[in-house]
Amino acid sequence: MTREAVFQRYPKSGDNLISILHDLQNQNEWNYLSKEDLQAAADYLELPYSFVHGVVTFYTMFSLKPRGRHVIRVCQSPPCQLMGASTVGDELKKLLGVDFGQTSSDQMFTLEMTSCLGVCGVAPAMMVDGDVYGNLTPQRVEEIISEKRRAS
Ligand code: FES
């Protein structure tokens, strides 16, 4: 989808800024927002560039740097921590050869931390792109990564 196609989906209202930024990021193969994206959103909504930039840097779900094709966010809030989030994180680091905040050498995965995903009843949990996975074990994490690799 082009930027113009994203803008056509939303009326010119500042209320739509977050949704527009989400769509622009999602349509980018590398899961990030470029300066050109921010400028285009600012121009379309007639907002100052600095305001749009401030919104992007406030929310951790937005990135100003290219990321992997898949973005993995591991919940680090207390209920998930109690149920083994650190084991999940360690398994992911081992499988992908990265630390949190990094992208795998094949550019397939970026590993990030997040706060509560709203599914504490199935802790520990993570989100891969838009999909939430719960009741994670090291074995289940390995299966999910293998599925994503096969699908790519
Ligand atoms: S604490 Fe992890 S999903 Fe709520």
Q: Does the residue 65 lie in any domain?
A: no
d(CA 15, CA 13): 5
The pLDDT of residue 152: 77
Q: Count of domains in the chain?
A: 2
Distance 81 CA to ligand 1 centre (A): 8
The pLDDT of residue 132: 97
Whether 79 is in the pocket of ligand 1, judged by its Cβ within 6 Å, is yes
Whether 120 is in the pocket of ligand 1, judged by its Cβ within 6 Å, is yes
Residue 89 is part of which domain span? 70-151
Same domain, 75 and 54: no
- CA nearest to 17, candidates 50, 52, 69, 62: 52
Same domain, 49 and 100: no
pLDDT digits (tens, 9 = 90+) for 70-99: 999 999 999 999 999 999 999 999 999 999
Same domain, 52 and 77: no
Residue 115 CB neighbours (<10 A): 12
Same domain, 136 and 92: yes
Residue 38 is classified by DSSP as H
Same domain, 74 and 139: yes
Q: Does the residue 63 lie in any domain?
A: no
Distance 34 CA to ligand 1 centre (A): 30
Q: What is the CATH number of the domain that holds 89?
A: 3.40.30.10
Same domain, 104 and 74: yes
Distance 63 CA to ligand 1 centre (A): 22
